[in-house]
Chains A and B, each alone.
Chain A
Amino acid sequence: MSPRSFVLSFCALSLITLLAYAFSFSSILGAPLAAEYWLRGTSLVKLKLARDVESPKVLFVGGSSTLFSIDTAQLSMATGKSAINMGLHAGLPLKYHFDFAKKALRHGDTVVVVPEYGYYRRDLANTEWFINQVLAWDGEYYRNASAKEKAKFIIDTPGMKIVDAVLSDIFSKRIREKFTYRYPVTEDEALKVFQAGWNNVRAKNAPERRVFQYYFNNINDHGDINNTVGSDSPKTSGYGLIEGFAFNGDALSEIANFKEYCDSIGVKMVMGFAPIMNDGVVKNNITAITKNMDGIKSKMTSMGIIFIDSPGDVFFDQKYFFDTDSHLNIDGKKLRSHDLERKI
């Protein structure tokens, strides 16, 4: 082979292989990888609940901090406004939460965005954790993405993850015999599980911790996770608020875009703080943390967003946290929700 043919063939072969790879990428979606399958059912149930509620309603949007820390059932009763907890998982990108909320938002609604603190600093890169979730149970996310987002997703997907997904696909029968839950549930299946799980305890939390699980049979009909009784005495991490706090431009753009969307359809968007455990490093660095939280509030306010919380509203003792320093337990969320009642 002449050097000239080599150079041309190398470029052509590389390009063809890359294109073939990109076009065949969707074939590995739905592989039974180890992932958080409960999020799939949880999101389907929440979306159904939110769509079924008549507007004007209040939607709470955020990661698992929102899922655990707001009692929308209590809020609904106290305020007379239907509220739904749309909180999912902080590993999902901010845009994912916004797109999720958009599916249920209607004119006259209010959306309360309560991002975990890491979201303000996060760029648009698809994390390995998120890629894993999409490959395992959210093929729709990839299929509905724009060409640019798809290209970015493919570029961000590690080679080893592809190998894992392909092998999981090949051995899917064996894997699903062992892990029966590793498949993307349909809405009907999710609702069936949800309803069966809550026939007897729909309106109140069970008094015992043992019934808690990360599953969509463990959410009430407002989307709150339930049975978060007691505390594992988790340690606080500092939430990335101890050192200097630098916003990520991409995160700010996402928030601004969502605000613009809400304005365009007549939805009121407000923001709040996620709960903070007043213990350990937080206690020792309270001044720096409060200063950074003030910075977040000022920044959001400067973007024309109403910020409903002050830093002092979201500091809670360790005993109010369930299994992590972002998840309030049943007592903690009662306190938090009581505070929110007068703000909504």
Chain B
Amino acid sequence: MLFNSYTFIFLFLPICLIAYYAVFRFGPRAQVSVLAIASLVFYCGWDLRYLPLLLGSVLLNFVAGRAIAQCNKKSRMAKLILIFAISINLLILGYYKYADFFIQNINAAFGADFNVLHIILPLGISFFTFTQTAFLVDTYSGKSDEPNLIQYLAFVTYFPHLIAGPILHHHETIPQFQRGAAIKACWMAPGIAMFAIGLFKKVVIADTFGAIARTIFNSYASGAQTLTGADAWLGALAYTFQLYFDFSAYCDMAVGASLMFGIYIPLNFNSPYKAVSIIDFWRRWHMTLSRYLRDYLYIALGGNRRGNYRRYQNLIITMLIGGLWHGAGWTFIIWGGLHGLYLIINHLWRAISGGNRETAVGRWAGRLLTFLCVVVAWVFFRSESVSSAVSMLSAMASAPQSLSPAVAKTVLEIMVPQALIDAGFQVSASYVAAATILIGLLIVWACRNAQELVFKKSPWDFPLEQAPEPEDWTARKMLLPLSSAAFLVGLAALIAAPPGEFLYFNF
């Protein structure tokens, strides 16, 4: 079941909300049970086959967490249980996500002939594995909230985040489950507005950029030789915007749906293309993954405590693992490595330039450079293979040319209504492509993001478990027509094609 489907919008979500608030008088325990059941139904809506895996994983980690909590803080036994439980988690993740990649590389490197297993990746496995390992580590450090089984089940499987994040932290979520929530307009209003904006972003903006990007990347994957530098730039930029709008749409819809239940989940996105440096970018892009990698990997590796050399080494390792987390493939590893490299250069630059005050020109130069670096890295992230990424980047580095006829035709088909062509209007595909990219840039650089549009004061400025009810509702009159229009246009656009999956479902 997708957030951007009629079933979710008109059936699943309303039924869950009615059930959730109907049991309010029975207390938070009943409400959290409704959330847990709803989340399992939501997961079954995807694939019933992996429900036992999800439930087994939840049970294993819950029992391990309990066992660790029973031991003395950081005792040898607690450590043994922690290592055992994390190993099991990583083994499961490794089997489902990386086994085929490992076999393929062994075959390639040693000329072996092991059969590839063709394992289907269980949805959300990367997310629920990370969520639970963080819980185990915190329990070991004595920072657990000691939830009961239902609370823990709801925390791990909570449907707004289950498939594609954000990666929840138990410390932020479980106290909210424990307090329960009565139906209040101050939760519903921002929830509806954010959900509507997310729906529009996904089905209108992201899927349109996606259609352009798909054509061009598929051409590179098939080894087409007729593509020009302009095609490559268009493909790379279209994917850059597709991923941005797709992922931020998912996050807006997840946050919005959760707000309707009176529960904050962490922000995952904060206008990342406005970042003025790569360090800034990673504070704005997939924020909960960055937090996880920083807290549970980078710092665990030693962080910056043992000098600059070790710091840079840790950065590279962290980003390589971050890349591998996104997918079992060399393109993802290279993507992670590139970002690790960018981060090192950024830290070095900071060290060299010292505490110079930033000027507006400097900020824009930083923004442009960061954006370009991110675009280049996305080419690896999206490409089918390293070789097709390299040939696309080579084309991007070549002398400027116009769009190839095939890509020009695709752009016109996607962006220009047939009626205008039939009416005899001469439309240049190059201008249309340029205007499309400019609109993308305008939105990501000049517009407020969803949370800025909806809230006068962001509840995410507080620790989530202590954040007040979202009373600081925006007074912007434009939000009503904007979100209604976004919702309706989003619904209408949904008709054009079956709801497309969010890109982050693949990771």
Contact = CB atoms under 8 A, between A and B. Distances in A.
Interface string B356-390: 00000000000000000000000000000000000
Nearest to B494: A159
A180 B479 CA distance: 45
B494 to A, nearest CB: 8
Contacts of A18: 488
B488 A1 contact: no
Contact of B188 (A7, A32, A161): A7
A2 B189 CA distance: 9
Contacts of A1: 473, 475, 477, 479-480
B193 interface: yes
Interface in B455-507: 473, 475, 477, 479-481, 483-484, 487-489, 492-493, 495-497
Interface in A122-142: none
Interface string A153-171: 0011111111111011011
A261 interface: no
A4 B185 contact: yes
Contacts of A179: 422
A13 B473 contact: no
Contacts of B352: none
Nearest to B487: A14
B192 interface: yes
A6 interface: yes
B488 A14 contact: yes
A3 interface: yes
B419 A13 contact: no
**What band does the interface of chain B fall in when counting residues whose beta carbon is under 8 Å from A?**
20 to 34
A3, A18, A157, A168 interface centre (most CB from chain B within 10 Å): A3
Interface string B183-198: 0111011101100100
B495 A6 contact: no
B418 A33 contact: yes
Interface residues of A, number: 36
B473 A175 contact: no
A160 B417 contact: yes
A10 B479 CA distance: 10
A283 interface: no
Given A1-B475, A17-B488, A157-B495, A9 B185 contact: no
B215 to A, nearest CB: 17
Please report whether the interface of chain A is mostly helix, strand, loop or mixed according to DSSP.
helix
B45 interface: no
B185 A34 contact: no
Interface in A17-64: 17-18, 21, 31-34
A175 B189 contact: no
B424 interface: yes
B423 interface: yes
Nearest to A157: B495
Given A3-B185, A3-B188, A7-B189, A13 B417 contact: no
30 contacts: A1-B479, A2-B185, A2-B473, A3-B189, A4-B185, A6-B192, A6-B193, A10-B196, A10-B480, A10-B483, A13-B480, A14-B488, A31-B419, A32-B422, A33-B418, A33-B419, A158-B493, A158-B495, A159-B492, A159-B493, A160-B496, A161-B496, A163-B417, A167-B417, A167-B423, A168-B422, A168-B423, A170-B419, A171-B422, A175-B423
Given A34-B418, A165-B419, 14 more contacts: A1-B475, A1-B477, A10-B196, A10-B480, A14-B484, A21-B488, A32-B422, A34-B422, A155-B495, A157-B495, A162-B492, A163-B419, A164-B417, A171-B422
